[in-house]
Amino acid sequence: MPEQPRHSQHATTSLDARTVPLDPASTRTLADAGLTYRAVDTDGDDFVSYVQAVNRGFLGERSKPEAVEAWRETIGDRRPVGVFDGGSPEPHLPVATVNAWVDELTVDVDRLLPMWAVSAVTVSATHRRRGIARAMLEGELRAAADAGLPIAGLTVSEATIYGRYGFAPVATATSWTVKTHRAGWIGPRPGGRLDPIERELAQQDLAALHDVVRRGRPGEVAATPSYWRSTAGLTPGQTDGGKVRAVRYTDESGQVRGVLAYQLENRDDGAATLTVRALAADGPDAYAALWRFALEHDLVDTVRATERSADEPLRWLLADPRAAEVTERDHHWLRILDVARCLESRTYRAPGAVTFDVVDPLGFAAGRWTLTVAEGGAGVVTRDGAGDGEGAVVTLGVAELSALLLGGVRATTLRAAGRLATDAATAAWLDATFAPVAAPQLSLWY
């Protein structure tokens, strides 16, 4: 495996996940249960069975052949894995699935970490609660750690599944329903221009703008061209693709600064709902222009948006903030594998030192780690008591340390919840030094 630079500002995504071997311990555990754990061949029918098993796992319908082929074309260097039961009447159908790849996680402005992204975790309802998901998840984490990945991440169907493996929610997503006739607009009216664009251009703009914006926002990850193809409604076989509309915002100097992809539904009561599929804005002017476009759209009385941030500026653009109903939910979950690399990958806001005593049943992060923050904000981590005496001790689990990493979860909150042990002054210092540049956000699903 290529050596990962310790202080990488730019994540190393050159690692091809398909070259990461399957974990031998999980292979043995599953073999002892009569099951075969193996990589899926993305060229042949094996991949068709895999895709249909993932659909089954998420309660979806079977994909049409063109949709399977679209997925196959974009699988890239991802590592789909299946679990197969030789005793089944159709042993080529996986009874469990998982997919993983190396993504880029923003931990601070322009500070990126390579991240083992885990997705498509399903176990057939016929084989549930026998430890198959545990074997796959622990296998993914061991494989990632052995390959030198410092952190793993996922988005989840249920918030009850992944804490046991050391994952914690680090970024909250908010969902918005705005009654436009009540909202009013008190935001700026920027001088650039808005233009309708077709879906192909929207796909390009979304990809380009996300790639800029994500680097400044803790919690964001890189997305593939196929993700934006689907957001723009252009994936073959996509049923809602024809509904997608888009507008682009260009600033006064001619630079493309924002794009909104959305769809409209005419309701039986005669009004319409505008649903935001993606809104990418590079700066406050683009942000205001695109939201104003959505909120002042003729015939529309309701605007909906999901995967917005916990500190969404939209609240401050509405004359009547109560026109918006906002709900929030855990969204991005992270799991530290390499404590030193993760903690050293970001900058801190207040000098000082602290020693973390980390409990990690899987071992990767377990032990005593001292973080020393210099004036200027660089953090250095020493292991096993080398920094003893420099800082107060914080005792916590790997999930709690993972929760702290991006700064969206405060140490004082975890202390008040009994999820970490330290004195009040140390928790307050942790709040100050881990403070994020902006609330961590993940604007997409993976």
Ligand X SMILES: CC(C)(COP(=O)(O)OP(=O)(O)OC[C@H]1O[C@@H](n2cnc3c(N)ncnc32)[C@H](O)[C@@H]1OP(=O)(O)O)[C@@H](O)C(=O)NCCC(=O)NCCS
Q: Interface with ligand X by CB under 6 A: which residues? A: 57-58, 121-123, 128-134, 156-158, 160-161, 164
Contacts for 155 with CB less than 8 Å, ≥ 6 apart: 119, 331, 332, 333, 442, 445, 446
Cβ-based nearer residue to ligand X, 156 or 340: 156
The size of the chain, in residues, is: 446
Cβ-based nearer residue to ligand X, 162 or 228: 162
| Minimum distance, C-beta of residue 33 to ligand X, in the bound complex (Å) | 11
Residue 131 annotated as part of some ligand binding site? yes
Q: Is the distance from CB of 203 to CB of 229 less than 8 angstroms?
A: yes
Fill in the amino acid letter for 370.
T
| Minimum distance, C-beta of residue 125 to ligand X, in the bound complex (Å) | 7
Residue 133 annotated as part of some ligand binding site? yes
In terms of Cβ atoms closer than 10 Å to its own Cβ (0-12, 13-18, 19+), residue 363 is: exposed
Cβ-based nearer residue to ligand X, 120 or 213: 120
**Which residue of this chain has its Cβ atom nearest to ligand X in the complex?**
133
Residue 118 annotated as part of some ligand binding site? no
Residue 312 annotated as part of some ligand binding site? no
300 Rama sector, left if φ>0, alpha if ψ -120 to 50, beta otherwise: beta
| Minimum distance, C-beta of residue 272 to ligand X, in the bound complex (Å) | 33
| Minimum distance, C-beta of residue 104 to ligand X, in the bound complex (Å) | 21
Cβ-based nearer residue to ligand X, 153 or 218: 153
Cβ-based nearer residue to ligand X, 14 or 126: 126
CA distance 259 to 324: 22
Residue 132 annotated as part of some ligand binding site? yes
Residue 122 annotated as part of some ligand binding site? yes
Q: What are phi and psi of 2, to 5 degrees?
A: -65, 145
Half-sphere exposure of 86 (CA within 13 A, CB side): 9
> Catalytic residue at 262?
no
| Minimum distance, C-beta of residue 153 to ligand X, in the bound complex (Å) | 12
Burial 145-165 (b: 16+ CB within 10 A, else e): bebbbbbbbbbbeeeeebeeb
Q: How many CB atoms lie within 10 A of CB 445?
A: 15
CA distance 114 to 4: 9
Cβ-based nearer residue to ligand X, 130 or 349: 130
Angle, vertex CA 368, rays to CA 363 and CA 374, nearest 5: 125
Contacts for 162 with CB less than 8 Å, ≥ 6 apart: 137, 154, 156, 333, 335
| Minimum distance, C-beta of residue 155 to ligand X, in the bound complex (Å) | 7
Q: How many CB atoms lie within 10 A of CB 309?
A: 22
Per DSSP, the three-state class of 15 is: coil
Closest CA to 298 of 260, 259, 257, 266: 266
Q: Is the distance from CB of 424 to CB of 392 less than 8 angstroms?
A: no
Given the residues 165, 287, 348, 446, select the one marked as catalytic.
Answer: 446
CA distance 201 to 409: 37
> Catalytic residue at 165?
no
| Minimum distance, C-beta of residue 361 to ligand X, in the bound complex (Å) | 10
| Minimum distance, C-beta of residue 395 to ligand X, in the bound complex (Å) | 22
> What pairing do the DSSP bridges indicate for beta strands 272-281 and 245-250?
unpaired
Cβ-based nearer residue to ligand X, 7 or 129: 129
Residue 130 annotated as part of some ligand binding site? yes
Closest CA to 93 of 13, 141, 151, 35: 35
Helix 132-146 and helix 24-32: axis angle, to 10°? 160
Given the residues 37, 50, 162, 287, select the one marked as catalytic.
Answer: 162
Cβ-based nearer residue to ligand X, 134 or 179: 134
Q: Which residue has the tokens 């917005």?
A: 308
Which residue ranges make up the annotated binding site for acetyl-CoA? Answer: 121-123, 129-134, 157-158
Residues designated as active site: 162, 446
Which residue ranges make up the annotated binding site? Answer: 121-123, 129-134, 157-158
